[in-house]
Structure 1
Amino acid sequence: METDETSGAAGLSVLIADDHTLILEIIGLVLENTPDITLTTAISVDGAIEKMRAHGPFDLILLDLDMPGMNGGETLRQISGLNAGRPVGIITGGPTPRVIEEMSRNGAAGVVPKTTSMKSLTNAIRFMAAGERYFPLELMQEQKAAQNAFVSPLSEREVSVLHELADGKPNREIGENLKLAEATVKMHVKSICRKLGVSNRTQAVIAARNLKLV
């Protein structure tokens, strides 16, 4: 059952959706003593959407990456749209360089590890609500190290196409998103398959994920 925790009559309105109720309770205990933040909670994506429909846009929404109904970047974009373009971030137990890249690419306001101290979480909430992007330094360093460890054989445009392939989009939609002719997209897909040593787009996505290209 979704719950609401209120920590003051004014200030930042924050919605945190996480299916671990203990985490929500701990966060609620901390934020109830933070007068400039009003917290609303939900335990699923559907629950978060219900709260948004009842409340309207929030100053910040944090979504658990692994809760029911969560589908990565697709859900992130959906919730961002429903939140009138206001910031939406991710909270997760074990962020990887790939998660950081994917969430950043899909417009996340930040990625907050569940190991973050409550004081740092409060600061991160204020930071993201102010329109800034919050990605902890150690996570960014891990991402940079992973990127430097492997030199991609793909061009920048091929990487863009590959990300669209990883989202399961057909050539026509990829072309529309990247402003490319469908024939050009097909050419890029063939080049990607050749460079990765695979025979079709599905294998290309699997190979790219193994190489941490997407």
Structure 2
Amino acid sequence: MSLLHLQLPDQLRLLLVDDHRLFLEGLALVLQPLSRAVHIDLADSAAAADQLRRQHDYDLILLDLRLPDRSGLQLLRDWQQAGNPTPAAVLSASESPADMQAALQAGALGFIAKSSDAQSLRSAISRLLLGECLPLPLPLAGNPPAGSLTPRQQEILLLLAEGLPNKSISRQLQLSEDTVKTHLKALFQHLGVHTRTACVSVARQRGLLG
């Protein structure tokens, strides 16, 4: 299910990371129509991306796998280890299933082909910005069948739909907050999302909330 019927925020800030400047500038033009006010920063190396990431909060980072000073995969892993919460996706010319799987394992929310046309690219990025994870043509990225939640996951999903924070959910179900977070992570993976709002929205679309 798609969340594209939802509205993107009026203001967005994106970071595009690629060592081909002409490609970066063209991509920035393609993404300008995403929202009324889109601020796009460009970085042509991992070091430049790191510096910009420390200076700004981004709604989404798009990066190539092959950068001159550090691979995109290593950059993703470094950000994950640093506890960086910024959503990031890979935009690459590679069509290798191994690269796609490695990107997902490194923390990417999706893998977008550089061969995508402008409309497909904006659609994929809109889905990411709305909280979805892009499906990959790999078993690792497949979603379990709808309705296969555990009873505990179903309980947490219902409380999440009521807008309760983790602390309240843990108190109501007599669980630790870490346990709640673990169940939430499993829910997000099951539904192919990476935000609480998207989790509830997709669960409603799939009939998991009645």
What TM-score does the superposition give when structure 2 sets the normalisation length? 0.55
Residue 12 of structure 1 deviates from its aligned partner by 2.1
Pairing 1:96–2:110 present:
no
124 and 81 in structure 1: CA distance in 2 versus 1, 3 angstrom threshold:
farther
**1:157-178 per-position Cα deviation (integer Å, ceiling 9, x unaligned):** xxxxxxxxxxxxxxxxxxxxxx
Taking only the aligned residue pairs, the percentage that are identical comes to 29
Q: Is 1:12–1:38's contact at 8 Å kept on the other side of the alignment? A: yes
81 and 39 in structure 1: CA distance in 2 versus 1, 3 angstrom threshold:
farther
**1:39-72 per-position Cα deviation (integer Å, ceiling 9, x unaligned):** 1111011111111122x22111111101122335
**2 CA distance for matches of 1:25 and 1:86?**
22
103 and 49 in structure 1: CA distance in 2 versus 1, 3 angstrom threshold:
same
Q: Is 1:57–1:83's contact at 8 Å kept on the other side of the alignment? A: no
**1:175-197 per-position Cα deviation (integer Å, ceiling 9, x unaligned):** xxxxxxxxxxxxxxxxxxxxxxx
Q: Is 1:112–1:135's contact at 8 Å kept on the other side of the alignment? A: no
Q: Is 2:64–2:72's contact at 8 Å kept on the other side of the alignment? A: no
**1 CA distance for matches of 2:81 and 2:122?**
24
Alignment partner, residue 50 of structure 2: 49
12 and 53 in structure 1: CA distance in 2 versus 1, 3 angstrom threshold:
same
140 and 116 in structure 1: CA distance in 2 versus 1, 3 angstrom threshold:
farther
**2 CA distance for matches of 1:75 and 1:10?**
29
The letter of the residue matching 2:53 is: M
Residue 83 of structure 1 deviates from its aligned partner by 7.5
The letter of the residue matching 2:76 is: L
Number of residue pairs the alignment of both structures matches:
132
130 and 35 in structure 1: CA distance in 2 versus 1, 3 angstrom threshold:
closer
Q: Is 1:57–1:82's contact at 8 Å kept on the other side of the alignment? A: no
Q: Is 2:101–2:138's contact at 8 Å kept on the other side of the alignment? A: no
Alignment partner, residue 41 of structure 2: 40
Q: Identify the structure with bigger relative contact order (alpha carbons < 8 Å, sequence gap 6+).
A: 2
Residue 82 of structure 1 deviates from its aligned partner by 5.5
Q: Is 1:28–1:39's contact at 8 Å kept on the other side of the alignment? A: yes
Alignment partner, residue 130 of structure 2: 130
**1 CA distance for matches of 2:64 and 2:35?**
24
Q: Is 1:18–1:43's contact at 8 Å kept on the other side of the alignment? A: yes
Three-state SS of the structure 2 residue aligned to 1:90 is strand
What TM-score does the superposition give when structure 1 sets the normalisation length? 0.54
Q: Is 1:73–1:103's contact at 8 Å kept on the other side of the alignment? A: yes
**2 CA distance for matches of 1:27 and 1:124?**
13
Q: Which has the larger radius of gyration?
A: 1
Alignment partner, residue 162 of structure 2: none
Gaps of 5+ in 2: 1-8, 143-210
The letter of the residue matching 2:128 is: M
Q: Is 1:10–1:38's contact at 8 Å kept on the other side of the alignment? A: no
